[in-house]
């Protein structure tokens, strides 16, 4: 069974569109995260949730809106997509913030 | 500011060569340190972690890392690399407030 699963794996869309990425973890972890990995492989945290509550918002534009319906799910909705949003987005989870994180397979978002 | 520095951006080795990747961290709080590996097209996987105790930590696939508190370093080593070790390697440190801080990554290419 996949521990952290995110869908879709690939997302190709046009500028200005709205899209969502879903993430689910079956590890029973309390904390979930969204990361953005750019073309140079630099990994930057975007959001962190603990038990459905937002803990970290790393100066991400408000076009990005995470939603956590329960502690096993953390979805990411992006409005008015821009060229600079092209990246790989990783979801991750951990038991606590200082513990090892388990990553999903990533969603490669390409903006045309 | 909290930061993690990885000194080598690209490393090219021949099979059977020894590997050492440098990592320095600046966070002065709880020292939880990690090395992750990202194989081409895949998600990040935990190689090893250090929380406390023996500063020499052994991980999976023959990797080890040494925590040297006086140097704020957590270097990754492997005595003899294989072609299958070709990947991106990320050092990370617990940065407080429920997040990990990742280094910029080191791309390792191992030639047969």
Chain B residues interacting with chain A (CB cutoff of 8 angstroms): 30, 32, 34, 38, 42-46, 49, 88, 90, 94, 97-100, 102, 104-105, 107
Check if the beta carbon of residue A96 is closer than 8 Å to that of residue A30. yes
- What is the overall mean pLDDT for chain B? 92
Check CB contact under 8 Å for B102 and A106: no
Provide the pLDDT confidence category of residue B8 given band limits of 50, 70 and 90: confident
Backbone angles phi, psi at A44, to 5 degrees: -125, 130
* Chain A environment of B34 (Cβ under 8 Å): 100
Q: What is the pLDDT of residues B55-100, one digit of tens each?
A: 999 999 999 999 999 999 999 999 999 999 999 999 999 877 778 8
The SS3 of residue B108 is strand
Check if the beta carbon of residue A78 is closer than 8 Å to that of residue A19. yes
Q: What is the pLDDT of residues A19-49, one digit of tens each?
A: 999 999 999 999 999 999 998 888 999 999 9
Q: CA B26, B30, B31, B33 torsion: positive or negative?
A: negative
């Amino acid at each position: 069974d996949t521990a952290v699963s995110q869908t879709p794996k690939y997302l190709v869309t046009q500028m200005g569109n709205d899209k969502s990425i879903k993430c689910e973890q079956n590890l029973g972890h309390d904390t979930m995260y969204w990361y953005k990995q750019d073309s140079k492989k630099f990994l930057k945290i975007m959001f962190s949730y603990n038990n459905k509550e937002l803990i970290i918002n790393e100066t991400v534009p408000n076009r990005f809106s995470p939603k956590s319906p329960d502690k096993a799910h953390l979805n990411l909705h992006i409005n008015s997509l821009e060229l600079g949003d092209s990246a790989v987005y990783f979801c991750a989870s951990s038991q606590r913030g200082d513990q090892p994180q388990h990553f999903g397979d990533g969603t490669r978002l390409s903006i045309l | 500011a909290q930061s993690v520095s990885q000194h080598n951006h690209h490393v090219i080795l021949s099979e059977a060569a020894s590997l050492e990747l440098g990592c320095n961290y600046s966070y002065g709080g709880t020292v939880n340190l990690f090395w992750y590996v990202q194989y081409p097209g895949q998600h990040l996987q935990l190689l090893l972690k250090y929380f406390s105790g023996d500063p020499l930590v052994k991980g999976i696939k023959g990797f080890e890392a040494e925590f040297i508190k006086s140097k704020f370093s957590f270097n990754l080593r492997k005595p003899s690399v294989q072609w299958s070790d070709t990947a991106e390697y990320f050092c990370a440190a617990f940065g407080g407030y429920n997040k990990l801080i990742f280094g910029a990554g080191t791309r390792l290419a191992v030639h047969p």
